[in-house]
Amino acid sequence: MFIIIVFRIFNTMNNNDLYALSKEELIANILLLQQQVAELKRLIFGQKRERFIPSDSAQATLFDMEELSVEQDAVEISYKRSKTKKQSPHSRNPLPSNLPRKEIIIEPEGIDLNKMKKIGEEITEELEYEEAKLYVNKYIRPKYVAIDRNESYKSSVVIADMPERVIPKGIAGAGLIAHIIISKFIDHLPIYRIRKQFKRLGVDLAESTINDWVKQTAILLEPLYNLIKAVVLSGDYLMVDETAVKVLDKKLKGKTHTGYHWVYYDPIHKMLFFEYRRGRHKQFPMETLSQFRGAVQTDGYAGYNEVVKRSDIIGLACFAHARRKFERALSNDKKHAGWFLKRIQYLYLVERVAREKGLSAEQRYHFRQRHSIRVLKRMREWMIENRRQMLPASQIGKAIDYTLSLWKRLIAYTEDGRYEIDNNLVENSIRPVAIGRKNYLFAA
């Protein structure tokens, strides 16, 4: 497969086109093709992590560079990290004290204990598991009628009201529905696997029945969802991202279309909501954020441009996405990509120190002003100086273009200590969707 892809890349130009090119153009095309092959090899065989390790590999060199050589700063940014004690290979974490204990007393055999005196005991704890079980709540409501026919209710039958149930007239109890919802959306089990669990316990439920329970429960939870959405949108700082999901098309049997979960995350209060849309059009975040006022942090997707252009919106970008672009350029231009990645590494070091010192938003603002601003200024100057030397189609050229196009939004995080350097928090909240997507394959 890999060979076929590479062959197709090299056949994008015919021989006549090759002969018509100058030496410089041929070199540029060769470099571009080498870059494409390297990217394909990375996708097929390479690691997905984005960690950058400088050639000198010593973190201290971050402070030895010319623009970071101020000795006072190097001292001020130093800090102590508390190391957790390493457990011995044979030690175990104690079992939680809140777990119920079932005592099993084992007495010595073949000995008359009446002639013995107890001096102590050895206690060994073993963690055990009981398989889940299904059971039936059988509601019995006796009926009554008045003995004295002269009473006002002589002709009526008295019976207790049924307690309120999650699904009226349904056979599913609240505990069963809670288990299904948790299994599907927390443990990411498809409905057919949940059905197999119940089948092992002796009850065969139709998938359509379980799906109906999930749908009806979602309808019941809608007021809570709307409340959470209103609370999140009432803040003044949001991270926004989106992720694709295959959805069965009701019009075309057996076919799917690509829908999107749009995620809105409030990093101050650590609250979020998901919003499903049938596409990735710019109108969707515009509609959702029509009444929002404050800072919006996103990646470089153009669909957010209309939102961040508004005068009442502060646009923030993500340095993790910019770093990703330069990390991909390492294989083709290690010198330039490595230079830039070192500076990004320093910016993240500043953030880590601020976080581990427990700085307040105000303190983090001043900390960034002291340590990050001058580095950011040098990074922009370097990109402008080197941009003309790079091929526009090369990975390093694309990385510089991407970063310069978002530069105003990338450095805006330094203007408020509450803002983050990237939108990794909202991306982390999307991870469960990615896990579920692999298990479900599609949504109905």
Domain locations in the chain? 59-75+238-440
State the sign of the Cα–Cα–Cα–Cα dihedral 172, 173, 178, 183. Answer: negative
What is the reported pTM? 0.76
Per-residue pLDDT, 220 = 94
Residue 182 CB burial class (10 angstroms; 0-12, 13-18, ≥19): exposed
| pLDDT at 358 (0 to 100) | 93
**Nearest to residue 421, comparing CAs of 340, 336, 350, 338?**
350
261 bridge partner residues: 243, 276
| Among candidate residues 261, 268, 222, 223, the one with its CA nearest the CA of residue 240 | 261
Q: Which phi and psi (to 5°) does residue 355 adopt?
A: -70, -45
CA 440 vs CA 2, 204, 433: distances in Å: 28, 20, 10
Residue 71: the pLDDT is 36
pLDDT at 84: 59
CA distance 72 to 139: 76
The residue whose two tokens read 């990615």 is 434
- What 8-state DSSP symbol labels residue 420? -
Give the whole-angstrom CA distance, residue 431 versus residue 167. 31
What pLDDT score was predicted for residue 67? 42
pLDDT given at position 426: 94
Which segments in the chain show pLDDT lower than 50? 1-2, 5-7, 9, 57-76
Give the pLDDT of residue 344: 95
Predicted local distance difference test score (pLDDT) of residue 92:
75
Please tell me the distance from the alpha carbon of residue 181 to that of residue 439, in angstroms, as a whole number: 15
